[in-house]
Amino acid sequence: MTTRWSRRGFLTASTASALALPLPVPAGGTAAAAAEADEFATLRAKWRTLVLGEGFSPTAEPFKSRLAELGSTANELRHAMAPAPGSLWPDLVYADPEPDTDQESYGYSGNLHASYGRLHTLALAYSRPGTGLTGSSTLRTAILTGLDHLYTDVYNENRARYGNWYSWQIGAPQALLDVCVLMYDSLTATQIAHYCAAVDHFVPDSAVAAYTGTSTGANRVDLCRVLALRGIVGGSAAKVALARDALSPVFPYVTSGDGLYSDGSFIQHTTVPYTGSYGSVLLGGLGMLFALLNGSTWAVTDPQRQIVFDAVEKAWAPFLYNGLVMDSVSGRAVSRGLSATDAKQIQQDDHLRGHPVLASIVLLGQGASTAENARWRGLVKGWLQRDYYSPAMNDPALPVPQLSRLKSVLDDTAVTPAAEPNGHRLFPNMARATHRKPGWAASLSMADRRVTHYETGNGENLRGWHTGSGMLYWWGDTFANGQYSDAFWPTVDPCRLPGTTASRKVLADAAGGDWGASLPDVNWVGGATDGQRAAIGQYLKGLQSTLLAKKSWFFLDDTVVCLGAGIRCTDGTKVETTVDNRNLGPVGNAPFTADGIVKPLAHPWSETLTGARWAHIGGHAGYVFPGGATVKALREARDGRWRDINRGGSTTVLNRKYLTLYVDHGTDPTAATYAYLLMPGATAAQTQARADATDWLTVLANTNDQQGVAVPSLGFTGVNFWFGGTVGDLVASDPCCVMVQERGDGTAVVCVSDPMRMRTGLTLTWNRAVTSVTSKPATVTSATTGASLRLTFGDLRGTAGATQRVTVRLG
């Protein structure tokens, strides 16, 4: 017989058990105090439901297997537990012989966190149905023994922390308090008092007194979760109220540092785009806390929480594609593939990072408006159905509650899956862009004086040096969704990331410093978009290199036009621009054609393609080189280990086949250039046709001063003015980005931005007959029409690089 693990059943059972151990009643023993105690019991019951999951059948897949696996894991952990001074499990020694904050101490504190994590696993197996250990008295004894041992031995009010602050203030206490909720009916008042005292010691109220340091963004949400659960477990209304109130600084838009920006950017660690990692934690944490406190005395009612709801479609959705979250906003998490200590050896990747985001959106929707919830469920269902590469229902790392939330959406016949949108999104505040067109999507990563080249730290992402040097990621709708998932990061040549221009200078692991410290001293990074197409530019300064380059991208319907100019360097090494570097998997037999000639499939193989007009990688993309170019093609089999890029990674050697196209600018170039078109998903015939259509694209400029293109058939013109000047029909007085889109209805939109954020005034002339200006932003102080359009902009410094859109009627 199939039984449903319903929310009602959970609430009934858990509330009853929670009430079996009375909370301390405040002085006076009033009815109000008793009601407050009842409310804490209700909140513990709600948290049990959130942690354990609801609405699933423990005898139906995929839950049956997942629960059985949980039981097996818990049984192994129970038998391996061996309390001793300095450890609860022999392989997780947390006693630090020289406690400080160096990397070795980070390991010891991490083992403390992991020890509580294992107790959390045991408590889940004890509390969930279908594990084979549900309600086991032997398992209960092991859990209680473990809790007491860790309190007595290490995590108590008399100890000083060492290693990573996160382990003591977030990792360990979150797991501890979850276990306290799950095992509440088995804990004595003394045990609860001890554990709460330990949490109070390591996470005092002062942890959220100021919105700064390690108490911002996702970290602040995590700390609020600790405080809220501490209040619920220990019966402290003041703690729960503090947790609720301390969330408020997370909500407002920020203009610098950590948090959400009005353009949809999300930054953590001051300089790192982190929508897909810390942003995921923030979204999930807020969803859990909103759900927990909703309807209680401590409900989150701050009206600015609407900013978080708005961010679902403004900040997170643009970086979600077919179930994955783009690596361009996942920071050092991209290096967390296979962990050396993961007994299951589950490889983390962009899909496995994306699925929890989808589940968090579903949970957050429960507290949003009816219209928002309906839209979000449609978005999630579309992403889930299109995730052919790594279906969420098969995700071995997705916890049961998230799995059940996503399955509920998939099974809901009232939800219509939303199709992929068609358009462009620019995120000036984190130097990122996303582009979606029928059949494909792309993401661009850049760096400037506000946004780091890359982040390393905790021994992670040791060779992400060039990910901010114009890396252009792309995916097909039904192909190449595993491009960056399938052991890409440990096996790819880190100096040949797709789209980047880089010096071959040898860099040390973690070069540039931890926590996003490497910031290039450049301002001109950004672009302009009408929401469908875009012109984007990056003044590139290489990491610990003399490399300088001007890079431009023009995002169109089936093409990204890529230009490079002013490329110079004195490192004494070669400089290369990587047109693309495709991960072909373990076999690597995708055909490669250049100018109609099919090239060998053998590995290794290389050839210099002189005067190349076009190239094609079967099942991937086409590449066009306007006017011909000298391009190097390379097939190679590359070995790598996750340990190479993450000190906690697996030492297993992996091998992947790559096909790389790159432009060799030579050693110490002085004024090198490049130009190519990327056509994701194009066939060889389509690629050749585009190469043959020499009038389709006009490169208006490709110099150190300006870069621009025109595509007459699309009515598109885009120019990056690194300096003021004239390019085609456009004249700019000062550095700026301009994109003009002429429409079929006799109108045009002129998009202008100040990527440098330095213009106190700007004049733009378009030598095209214009009869009227139909709309303009307040930044336009005057507009003259006639035989040409002359726009005068006032102070643009406060626009944060955002696009200024002017709509005109053509003459």
Active site residues: 219, 269, 278
State which amino acid sits at residue 73: T
DSSP state of 765: E
Which string of DSSP letters, residue by residue, matches 32-66?
HHHHHHHHHHHHHHHHHHHHH--SB-TTSTTHHHH
Q: For the beta carbon of residue 810, count every other beta carbon within 10 angstroms.
A: 15
Helix 103-127 × helix 172-182 angle, to 10°: 20
The answer to whether 465 and 491 are in contact (CB under 8 A) is no
The answer to whether 329 and 274 are in contact (CB under 8 A) is yes
Q: What is the C-alpha to C-alpha distance for residues 542 and 595, in angstroms, rounded to an integer?
A: 33
Q: Which of 581, 587, 545, 552 is nearest to 566 (CA)?
A: 552
Q: Can you say whether the dihedral through the CA atoms of 248, 250, 252, 255 is positive or negative?
A: positive
Check residue 590 and give left, alpha or beta (phi > 0: left; psi -120 to 50: alpha): beta
Q: What is the C-alpha to C-alpha distance for residues 525 and 41, in angstroms, rounded to an integer?
A: 53
Distances in whole angstroms, Cα of residue 451 to Cα of each of 41, 329, 375, 470, 603: 45, 12, 32, 13, 38
Q: For the beta carbon of residue 586, count every other beta carbon within 10 angstroms.
A: 11
Q: What is the C-alpha to C-alpha distance for residues 314 and 336, in angstroms, rounded to an integer?
A: 27
Give the strand pairing for 560-568 and 672-680: antiparallel
3 state DSSP class of 609: strand
| Cβ burial, residue 65 (10 Å; 0-12/13-18/19+) | exposed
Pair of tokens at residue 553: 């991208």
